[in-house]
């Protein structure tokens, strides 16, 4: 029995801290409201720009085609939504969904600034209870958002229900290092440099310390694969990127 299964079921992880389950959504919302002004800049700095490659690869694996409907959950400032919009074209539809109203506003402003207005909608939504009819989307993505969800199993079930039969789920998330030589270097960078960047660039060390800790608490590649299968998906596989710093899980609803 692991530490997660032994934990008080009335609590959940908030980084390395245990908190009441009902308070996590509020705490996570506070984190992302705080980091939203420098969110894109910090993503570039923390990943040395690699997040752009990871996101392009995830969208490539989605197989999204012209005319399809795509739901991007926990969309942040809309990076994946922009890439999907390019793939599905003028006859397609992309829905940008996020639980944080400030992030959703920034996504809308950013996409409009890039000339993206038609064929895209914005919805304030909780990943655990997606407010869409069953079998509504050809593709559903969530990038760097699942680890912040209180009930990941409920979110995956809601995603399964929302997808059409034959639809595809893409989960892009930080994961477990698979290169032994990289692990210590990554730990030093994560717990030393990233909080320092958070304090220096975003004036918010605590939020970025939480984000680093949340990565360590997120299920590893095989555990997440099992969770996706348990939610009803099939043909689940994953691709490690950058030595397992991130992984893209791909699954179908059949």
DSSP 105-136: HHHHHHHHHTT--TTEEEEE--GGG--S-TT-
- In the DSSP assignment, the letter for residue 244 is G
In a domain, 198, yes or no: no
At 172, list the tokens. 């892009």
Please report the pLDDT score of residue 138 as a whole number.
Answer: 98
**Backbone torsion region of residue 232, taken as left when φ is above 0, otherwise alpha when ψ lies between -120 and 50, otherwise beta:** left
Nearest to 102 by CA among 113, 94, 110: 110
Q: CB 69: neighbour CB atoms within 10 A? A: 20
Q: Which residue has better confidence, 40 or 85?
A: 85
In a domain, 7, yes or no: yes
Dist CA 159 CA 135 (whole Å): 10
pLDDT at residue 58 tops 90: yes
In a domain, 194, yes or no: no
- Rounded to an integer, the average pLDDT of 222-239 is 98
Look at the chain and report how many structural domains it folds into.
1
Domain of 158 in residue numbering reads as 3-177+210-252
- Rounded to an integer, the average pLDDT of 156-177 is 97
Please report the pLDDT score of residue 5 as a whole number.
Answer: 45
Give 104-118 pLDDT, tens digit per residue. Answer: 999 999 999 999 989
| For the chain, counts of helices (H) and of strands (E) | 11, 9
- Rounded to an integer, the average pLDDT of 91-116 is 94
Work out the mean pLDDT of the chain and round it to a whole number: 93
pLDDT at residue 19 tops 70: yes
In a domain, 191, yes or no: no
- Per cent of the chain over pLDDT 70 is 97
pLDDT at residue 92 tops 80: yes
In a domain, 63, yes or no: yes
Please report the pLDDT score of residue 9 as a whole number.
Answer: 74
pLDDT at residue 3 tops 50: no
Q: What is the CATH number of the domain that holds 51?
A: 3.40.50.150
Dihedral angle sign, alpha carbons of residues 127, 132, 135, 136: negative
Nearest to 170 by CA among 51, 28, 40, 60: 60
Q: How confident is the model at residue 37 (pLDDT cuts 50, 70, 90)?
A: confident
Nearest to 14 by CA among 233, 230, 211: 211
Which is it for strands 246-252 and 234-241: parallel, antiparallel or unpaired? antiparallel
- Rounded to an integer, the average pLDDT of 54-73 is 97
- pTM for the full model? 0.92
* CA distances (Å), origin 199, targets 14, 26, 44, 120, 207: 19, 22, 16, 35, 9
Give 202-222 pLDDT, tens digit per residue. Answer: 888 899 899 999 999 999 999
In a domain, 222, yes or no: yes
Q: Does an H or E element contain 227, and which? A: helix 221-230
Please report the pLDDT score of residue 2 as a whole number.
Answer: 47
Please report the pLDDT score of residue 1 as a whole number.
Answer: 40
- Rounded to an integer, the average pLDDT of 51-75 is 97
- In the DSSP assignment, the letter for residue 245 is T
In a domain, 199, yes or no: no
* CA distances (Å), origin 94, targets 15, 59, 65, 104: 31, 13, 12, 14
Dist CA 152 CA 126 (whole Å): 11
The residues, any chain, with a CB within 8 Å of residue 242's CB and separated by 6 or more, are 50, 54
In a domain, 186, yes or no: no
pLDDT at residue 182 tops 60: yes
Please report the pLDDT score of residue 225 as a whole number.
Answer: 98
Please report the pLDDT score of residue 7 as a whole number.
Answer: 60
């Amino acid at each position: 029995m692991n530490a997660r299964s032994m934990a008080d079921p009335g609590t959940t992880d908030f980084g390395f801290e245990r908190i009441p389950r009902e308070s996590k959504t509020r705490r996570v919302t506070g984190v992302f409201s705080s980091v939203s002004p420098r969110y894109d800049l910090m993503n570039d700095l923390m990943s040395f720009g690699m997040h752009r490659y990871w996101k392009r690869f995830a969208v490539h694996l989605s197989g999204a085609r012209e005319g399809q409907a795509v739901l991007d959950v926990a969309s942040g400032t809309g990076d994946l939504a922009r890439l999907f919009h390019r793939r599905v074209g003028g006859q397609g539809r992309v829905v940008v969904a996020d639980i944080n109203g400030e992030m959703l506003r920034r996504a809308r402003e950013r996409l409009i600034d890039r000339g993206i207005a038609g064929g895209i909608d914005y919805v304030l939504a909780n990943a655990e209870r997606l407010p869409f009819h069953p079998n509504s989307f050809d593709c559903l993505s969530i990038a760097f958002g699942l680890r912040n969800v209180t009930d990941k199993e409920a979110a995956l079930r809601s995603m399964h229900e929302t997808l059409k039969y034959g639809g595809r789920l893409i989960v892009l998330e930080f994961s477990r290092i698979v290169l032994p030589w990289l692990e210590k270097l990554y730990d030093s960078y994560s717990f030393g440099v990233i909080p320092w960047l958070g304090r220096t660039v975003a004036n918010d060390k605590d939020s970025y310390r939480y984000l680093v800790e949340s990565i360590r608490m997120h299920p590893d590649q095989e555990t997440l694969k099992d969770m996706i299968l348990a939610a009803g998906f099939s043909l689940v596989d994953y691709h490690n990127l950058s030595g397992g710093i991130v992984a893209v899980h791909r699954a179908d609803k059949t």
